[in-house]
Amino acid sequence: MNPQLLLAALAGIVIALPVGLLAEWLPARFAHTEAVWQRGTRLAGTAVVLALLSVFAWQRAGFGGEYAVLTAYLALFALVGVIDIEHKLVLNVVMLPAFAFALVEVLLNGRATPIESLAGFAIAQIVVMAFFLLGGVYQRGLGGTGAGEGEEDDAEIAFGFGDVTLATFCGLVVGYPRVIPMLVLMVLAGAALAVVYLIVQAVAGKGYRGDTALPYAPAILIAATVMLLWAEPFARMLGAP
């Protein structure tokens, strides 16, 4: 087996330790929520995911600056995803430094031009804000309260403002034109995850309520990850030049 592949997997496992611990500490500190999972379960799941993603990042870029940037984004994605799955929250305390990092990375790294990144941000902002407004209308139709002032209330609507923040961040990261297939993949991944949820609920003998809030961040993050790691193969699959 290639020793560099093993090294990449090990790097992902090492990165998973602080990510898993932050995913436990940040919601407790800033959203005052209690942990749902055992620490060992959270760390093990995060380690498996980041080990695999680290290997994919190495296969794309080798070890170097691009690999470091990709793994930083993937670690951030894992942190946001774990928190959202466990608590149905996208925390501002995570996203604000993430935006600052992305802006610096865009300006210095040259992976995408500032115009491409800002266009990706703007397109994602427009599209997901429409989803957010439609989600509020749908929730009011069900007799819900809609969006509240805090992140905990925001998690109760179909597509919360935290999801808007995350999707616009991912639009900034992937840039234009990759933001367009990212948004399409986001919708498809969200639908697929909802179907999986319904199947699990049916197997468990539980019904589904129309006002049940499902974590949407994983769908956004899956789409952004595909665009970061496999944008070119994905474009070829669609027949793009």
More confident residue, 183 or 156: 183
For residue range 68-123, what is the model confidence (pLDDT) as tens digits? 999 999 999 999 999 999 999 999 999 999 999 999 999 888 778 899 999 999 99
Q: By the 8 A CB rule, do 16 and 46 touch? A: yes
Residue 150, pLDDT > 60, answer: no
Pull the structure tokens for residue 10: 């090990």
Q: Does the model's pTM come out above 0.85?
A: yes
Calculate the average pLDDT of the chain: 87
Q: Which residues contact 18 (CB under 8 A, 6 or more apart)?
A: none
What is the per-residue pLDDT for 60?
94
Residue 207, pLDDT > 70, answer: no
- Give the pLDDT band (50/70/90) at residue 142: low
One-letter amino acid at 134 equals L
More confident residue, 29 or 204: 29
